[in-house]
Structure formats: structure tokens, C-alpha cells
Chain A
Amino acid sequence: AQSVSQHNHHVILSEAASLELGCNYSYGGTVNLFWYVQYPGQHLQLLLKYFSGDPLVKGIKGFEAEFIKSKFSFNLRKPSVQWSDTAEYFCAVTSSNTGKLIFGQGTTLQVKP
């Protein structure tokens, strides 16, 4: 069965620090990869996604993620975080076969001003 693993459950950073959140998935076929963000008290919003082409994907608010097929990974990065990036981040995967979205357990990011 497909699964998604996010290695960091809770990350605390100071403003201007660099961010990398890990995401690994288990599925050998063609996948589509997503990062969603949930700001406090709000619903999930799409941050970025990959379905084909350039494995380095740029999203909103300066976030980017790199799809490394050989490592089954889709890590999220941001060179300099802001206090407003405090949120919960979810990695998600679908396969072209099932189309169902499988979520990781989420990473809570706390950015200290």
C-alpha cells in the first residue's frame, strides 16, 4: 500500500533561518506529489505540486520542492523563513492508478520572530 512519511513532526526555527522538511513516499509507479499548508485556524491550501517535467518545483511564498525519484523523496525548502510561515505542512501523494490522495502525518513549523 502507498504511504507517505514526513520525518519532522515539529520544527522550531528563528526568522531568516533556512527550512527543509523531509517527505518520502512508498510507491514504485508514476506519482503526483503535493505540499499543502494549513495556517492556524484555516483550511488546507496548495503550496506546490509536481506531476511531470522539471523535478524542481517552485510554489507560492518562496517555497520550492525537489522530486528525487531514486530516493522516493519530495522535500520542501525555503531559504529564509518568516514568522508568517508558522503553520502545519502536509506532504501528499497520488498514483496515476488510484488517483487517491495519501497524506503524510504533517509537520508543525513554528517560526520565532
Chain B
Amino acid sequence: NAGVTQTPKFRILKIGQSMTLQCAQDMNHNYMYWYRQDPGMGLKLIYYSVGAGITDKGEVPNGYNVSRSTTEDFPLRLELAAPSQTSVYFCASSYSSRNTQGETQYFGPGTRLLVL
């Protein structure tokens, strides 16, 4: 299994440009997540999905959109890039979010985004 994969690894955007961060997992996990990581702030949840066709906002959703047309893929869309979106973005997946058995979230390698 490749686990959770993300593309691209690094991207520079100009203010106002748009882009899609790709995320895919091959573990047949039904839950998927997008986080952003900023220095000294830990990880903040942007959006998450409990299954194909179902998405919901996390803690910091403004400026982002997601879709989940398949179990495997969970792309994150930035429509109008802003300097405040400069960050490292991590995608994660888990079998369940209920954590009744302490299900682990598995993380991708991250996408480093710089908005100038």
C-alpha cells in the first residue's frame, strides 16, 4: 500500500491564483481530513469527509473548498490564494472517526504552499 499520497510537494502561487491540492489513499478508509500546519500553532482541521459525497467544515474552512466523489480521493481547492494561506497542508485518513477503538489517522507527506 502507498498509504496517503499528496501532490504537489511544493508550490508557489501568486495572490488571486487558484489551485487544487491532491490527496489519495489506498487503504479503503472512509474518513479523510485536511489540516494546515503553521509554526507554533500545531495542526488545524480545514475540512473533513466521512465518506464519498459527504464533506463538512473543520476549524478553519474559510478560503477552501473540498469534494469527495470517490472513497480514495479528497482534493482541496483554493479559489483565490491569499498570503494567509501560506502553510504546510496535510491530508490524513482513518477507517473511522468515532475513535471508539482509538482509530489512528494516517498522514500524507504534506504540501508546502507559498503565496506571494
Contacts and interface: CB of A to CB of B under 8 A. Distances in A.
Interface of A: 4, 9, 32, 34, 36, 42-46, 49-52, 90, 94-96, 99-101, 103-106
A96 B98 contact: yes
Interface residues of B, number: 25
B27 to A, nearest CB: 14
Nearest to A106: B42
Contact of B43 (A45, A52, A99, A103): A103
Contacts of B90: 43-44
Contacts, number: 56
Given A43-B90, A45-B107, A90 B45 contact: no
Given A101-B45, A105-B40, A49 B104 contact: yes
Given A9-B40, A43-B90, A46-B104, A99 B109 contact: no
